[in-house]
Amino acid sequence: MQKRPKPDEKYYLSSMWGPTCDGLDWFVERCDLPEMHVGDWMLFENMGAYTVAAASTFNGFQRPTTYYVMSGPTWQCTQQIQNHSFPPEVEEQDVGTLPVSCAQESSMKRPSAACASTSINV
């Protein structure tokens, strides 16, 4: 998790399970987590093919909303390619200073100014 724990925050013994409804589909057997609520985000790096591709709607589970995050210049190139235009050369930049653009999978439209103005600090 990307937040700093508070000294007085209560933690709960937890386990983490994958999206397949299989009794063996756990990827963290035991860990301590703060109280969480529906809609809270957990970030995992380098999960490979073990993510949404393995999920199903079996047992009534809904597929999660998927968001893509990329730099502003990459977003512009992607949009030009999607519109069948050849992308202009993009000057190399320090990735730590690039503005973030993101879109929801269902619409793939450029997000609100609040999202578009966020910066990545690497």
**Which pLDDT does position 86 carry in this prediction?**
60
Neighbours of 51 (CB within 10 A): 13
Annotated catalytic residue: which of 21, 31, 77, 102?
21
* Phi, psi values for residue 71, rounded to 5°: -70, 160
Contact 43, 68 (CB under 8 A): no
Q: What is the pLDDT along the chain (122 residues), one digit of tens a residue?
A: 456 778 888 999 999 987 777 788 888 899 999 898 888 888 777 776 667 777 778 777 787 777 777 888 888 888 888 887 665 554 444 545 545 555 444 444 554 444 444 444 43
**Which pLDDT does position 89 carry in this prediction?**
53
Is 77 a catalytic site residue? no
Run of H or E including 71: strand 67-71
Give CA–CA dist 74/28, Å, rounded: 34
